[in-house]
Structure 1
Amino acid sequence: MSSIDERLVVETARSLGSSSSSEDVDTSSPSDKASRKRFLARINGDEDRLIAEGRPWYEVRASLLQESDKAILRHIWRSLDEVITKHDKLMREIEDVRGASDAEKISLSNKQAASEASVARLQADMKRMQE
């Protein structure tokens, strides 16, 4: 196991096996450390067994989650879905506003061009009248 995987396993084990995820492993009592080592050994054993069975990595990781973790993940997933839905709605509204704004800009630009042409005609008419 690489050091990144070991760190991940330690952090996962800490969050699964302790009442407080903010506990520091180094400040634990010897019995807590032994308990964590047994817990990590069980996780490693389960992981090795599942890998030996030919399970994909995501099934191996999912099997190590506790029910409380799964409930939290479902809640986070629903929250993420809500955020994405709101984001999509806002993006559609922005596109509608931009579309309306672009159409208004084109209309105003056309009116400006027509006004400028009218001013040029009036100036030409005034010059002709002065001559």
Structure 2
Amino acid sequence: MRMIALLLLALPVPASAFTTRNGMEAAQTGPTEIAVAFHGGRTDTDYWCAAGDFAQRAMGLPVGTRLWRASPKPRGAGQGIAFTLDPARQAEGAGLSQWGSGPRDGAISIGAAVAGHCRVLLLFWQD
């Protein structure tokens, strides 16, 4: 399964890719798979934001839907990250550390991915 995730990330994201609220590109690559293309200078949490935003806005899924990382850690230089909605396809040990209540399965809800990992960018300019 890791090989499949790596092969998906080696391919360019389709032209029909969705631009997420943090400016990254995401696309559905299978019935339960989401690929977020590489974007320099971004942290892993930016990829979680993009995957959650894609699942919520492009796929129309409810905010309580669980999201797992399908790409093994560590992410290679120049590689994006694959995510899955299927717990059977998660990469072992690649999930997020969690605090508080709820399942400790390495997943977070797509609502938590967006609310907790999508940073608000404020742009200031002078006329």
TM-score by length of 1: 0.20
Larger radius of gyration: 1
Higher relative contact order (CA 8 A, sep 6+): 2
